[in-house]
Amino acid sequence: MFLSINGAVVAKEQATISAFDHGFLYGIGLFETFAAHKNGVFLLEAHIDRLLKGLESVGIAYALTKERALETVYTLLEANQLEEGYVRWNVSAGMREIGLFPDRYEAPTEIVYMKPLPKKPLHKEAVVLHTVRNTPEGGVRLKSHHYLNNVLAKQELNQSPHAEGIFLTKEGHVAEGIVSNLFWIKGDVVFTPSLETGILGGVTRSFVIKQLQRAGHEVRVGLFKAEALHEADALFLTNSIQGVVPITKLDGRELEIGSLVPVIAANYTHAANGGSKTT
């Protein structure tokens, strides 16, 4: 695997960071994940916008344009001899002395990872977790290096490694998946948890909500108990790597996919494969 560190392409065997990087010492850093293709990256500008706003909020000085992002992606696709790839665009605080730093980080570390894009699953099993979703570190959840809550949830699923775990909040409200946002359908209405639950504002989640609303579907965003999942007609997950994925089993109970979820998935795939992947 080849990756990019501060703009330089290196083999993974030669990839290093400073032991004093505050991304390593204190978890100060953010990242984006997305699928890259030779003809672009779907919703790239939304990923960049979320990354830049998040970094500004945690005091990391960083600039990124769509043009530079695409240049890096295309360079890594070529270096790794891939037609399409899984990208993790990572920005950490950079090197400082040991101790909490109260000022702005002016020299962050940028690492862009790439690996082969995994095959998209046709459907997934979901399990409601005992591990409770932690509250965001700040006012909103960022896609940050603070991933212990997700790791503990994944460990809870060690007997079902291919299932997606569904977090509840400490109040018992449905939150999100370990690496996904969650939607369900009851009757003619599509439901999804509010950002008030402390979930990540997913790029694909936002796109799907707007897509549904444009098509005339009612989307209710709010606070919902776990019972809503078990009473749903259909459920599906979203993230930027897998797109829209139906849930066919919840806590061991078989679920119908229904008629709307395949339409949502097909519309998303059509848009992602369209002529405007870079926007």
Whether residue 42 contacts residue 82, with contact meaning beta carbons closer than 8 Å, is answered with: no
Does the residue 279 lie in any domain?
no
Q: Which of 98, 108, 87 is nearest to 40 (CA)?
A: 87
If one counts the domains in the chain, the total is: 2
134 lies in the same domain as 78 = no
Give me the half-sphere count of Cα atoms (radius 13 Å) on the Cβ side of residue 36: 29
**139-157 residue pLDDT tens:** 999 999 999 999 999 999 9
Round to whole Å and give the CA distance between 34 and 85: 9
238 lies in the same domain as 254 = yes
Q: Is the pLDDT of residue 278 over 50?
A: no
101 lies in the same domain as 199 = no
* Average confidence (pLDDT) over 168-187: 98
Which residue blocks in the chain are alpha helix, DSSP H? 22-26, 44-57, 66-79, 148-156, 203-214, 227-230, 260-272
The pair of three-digit structure tokens given for residue 130, joined into one six-digit string: 């005992």
131 lies in the same domain as 251 = yes
Average pLDDT, the chain: 96
39 lies in the same domain as 150 = no
Does the residue 278 lie in any domain?
no
Q: How confident is the model at residue 186 (pLDDT cuts 50, 70, 90)?
A: very high
70 lies in the same domain as 166 = no
Provide the residue range defining the domain that includes 230: 124-272
- pLDDT of 37: 95
**127-142 residue pLDDT tens:** 999 999 999 989 999 9
